[in-house]
């Protein structure tokens, strides 16, 4: 099992929900601010949670920012 997979497996459902609510409030936010804000909201490993949301298609990475995907059901 790779280290990256173990890293992503440590993400809790509660932290994913916190991050989803955050990105619903802040539709587009800078990468650094997102990490600081998620940490302040109790997410222990913001980078792992963000990676999981990217993998799930809930957010996407822009140029120096993360954006909420408006219609994730159409993305594949």
Question: What is the C-alpha end-to-end distance of the chain, expressed in Å?
Answer: 25
In a domain, 76, yes or no: no
How far is 75 from 48, CA to CA, in rounded Å?
21
In a domain, 58, yes or no: yes
- Written as one string, the DSSP assignment of 22-44 is HHHHSSEEEHHHHHHHHHHTT-S
Q: For position 1, what pLDDT does the model report?
A: 44
Which CATH number does the domain housing residue 60 bear?
1.10.10.10
In tens, the pLDDT along 42-72 reads 999 999 999 999 999 999 999 999 999 987 5
Q: Which domain holds residue 26?
A: 3-71
How many Cβ atoms from other residues are within 10 Å of residue 64's Cβ? 8
Provide the greatest CA pair distance for the chain: 35
How far is 58 from 69, CA to CA, in rounded Å?
6
How many domains are contained in the chain? Answer: 1
Q: For position 9, what pLDDT does the model report?
A: 58
């Amino acid at each position: 099992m790779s280290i990256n997979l173990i890293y992503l497996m440590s993400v809790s459902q509660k932290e994913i929900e916190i991050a989803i609510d955050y990105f619903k409030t802040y539709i587009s936010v800078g990468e650094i601010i997102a990490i600081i804000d998620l940490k302040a909201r109790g997410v222990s490993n913001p980078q792992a949670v963000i990676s999981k949301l990217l993998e799930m298609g809930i957010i996407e990475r822009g140029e120096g920012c993360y954006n909420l995907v408006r219609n994730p059901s159409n993305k594949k």
